């Protein structure tokens, strides 16, 4: 398993007994990320037993309450638990001021370092990268400055093709490191054994695109092209397309159109308006255009 997404909340606007605002926990290539942090997120994290203490990076799409009102509670809890490791928070300009003011006035100063990465660009940009994963923004169009996020595995090293290697007795275990690094092997007789003969191609890197609140926006398609998993908000059905346009949200049909045009492998839809009592209607509408549709639901785990 290279990628697992846990839905912690997937409804719009206010929390209800059985509906929780947006939050997702992503494990990708041994990295652990929190995406958005609506009210009650830490409770959902405990309920669904995700790696609470493993999170070092939190990504906030925009400063509407149903996407970040749980952040200050989570930060405070980390303080109570005597966290020492750095916590990196990525979000729109203003998130630092908002967070620090709440900590100051509640006298809940965190004793661990909080590093804010405030975003202002309206173009896609790389905001996090290590040897395992990269994260880039997906500029969206909502009533306030909003980004989605594209998470991509780094390409792994080629695997040793042991059967082929064993055909050359001169190749010793100490040579394996060089082979994994992509080097050819030269035998004592001068023969060069190409690396591709001694290795197997690694699995294709996995990718996940999170598209938070936004209108239908075709210019995100080149950014999310061919991703393994796409989450796209679907606040409304097509019967309320005019309301979606007015409030700068998307319909299930529009999300499916984006998925189809971007050639993604699977589409996850969520951020349902509470006016709809049956969320199966969202799946039905989306599948008229794109077949591989998954309904977001609190506690659902999606693995690739």
Query: 74-83, 100-109, 128-137 — which is least confidently predicted?
Result: 100-109
pLDDT in tens, 143-198: 999 999 999 999 887 889 999 999 999 898 988 888 988 899 998 898 999 999 98
Torsion angle of the four alpha carbons 211, 214, 220, 225, in this order, in degrees rounded to the nearest 10:
40
b/e for 144-164, b at 16 or more Cβ within 10 A? ebbbbbbbbbeeeebeebeee
- List the catalytic residues: 66
Domain 3-156+203-303: CATH class, spelled out: alpha beta
| Residues across the chain | 304
Tell if the pTM clears 0.75, that is, is over it. yes
- Burial of 73 (C-beta count, 10 Å sphere; 0-12/13-18/19+): middle
The per-residue pLDDT for range 206-237, each reduced to its tens digit, is 999 999 999 999 999 999 999 999 999 999 99
Evaluate if residue 263 carries a pLDDT over 70.
yes
Across the chain, what does the average pLDDT equal?
A: 95
User: Where do the domains of the chain lie?
Assistant: 3-156+203-303, 159-200
What distances in angstroms separate CA 241 from CA 145, 215, 253, one per listed residue? 22, 10, 10
Summarize the confidence of residues 54-68 as an average pLDDT: 97
């Amino acid at each position: 398993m290279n990628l697992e997404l846990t839905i912690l909340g997937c409804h719009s606007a206010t929390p209800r007994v059985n509906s929780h605002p947006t939050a997702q926990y992503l494990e990708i290539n041994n990295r652990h990320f929190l995406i958005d942090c609506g009210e009650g997120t830490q409770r959902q994290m405990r309920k669904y037993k995700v790696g609470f203490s493993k999170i070092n990076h939190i990504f906030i799409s925009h400063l509407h309450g149903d996407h970040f009102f749980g952040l200050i509670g989570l930060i405070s809890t980390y303080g109570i638990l005597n966290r020492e490791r750095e916590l990196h928070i990525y979000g729109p300009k203003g998130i630092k001021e908002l967070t620090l003011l709440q900590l100051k006035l509640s006298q809940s100063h965190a004793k661990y370092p909080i590093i804010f990465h405030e975003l202002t660009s309206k173009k896609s940009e790389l905001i996090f990268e290590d040897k395992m994963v990269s994260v880039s923004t997906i500029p969206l169009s909502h009533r306030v400055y909003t980004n989605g996020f594209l998470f991509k595995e780094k390409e792994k090293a080629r695997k040793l093709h042991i059967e082929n290697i064993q055909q050359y007795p001169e190749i010793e275990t100490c040579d394996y490191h060089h082979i994994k690094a992509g080097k050819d092997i030269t035998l004592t007789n001068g023969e060069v054994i190409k690396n591709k003969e001694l290795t197997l191609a690694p699995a294709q890197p996995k990718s996940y695109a999170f598209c938070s609140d936004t209108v239908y926006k075709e210019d995100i398609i080149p950014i999310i092209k061919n991703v393994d998993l796409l989450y796209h908000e679907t606040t409304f059905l097509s019967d309320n397309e005019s309301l979606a346009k007015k409030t700068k949200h998307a319909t299930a049909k529009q999300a499916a159109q984006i998925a189809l045009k971007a050639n993604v492998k699977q589409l996850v839809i969520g951020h349902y308006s509470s006016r709809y009592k049956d969320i199966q209607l969202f799946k039905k509408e989306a599948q008229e255009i794109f077949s591989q549709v998954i309904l977001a639901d609190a506690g659902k785990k999606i693995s690739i």
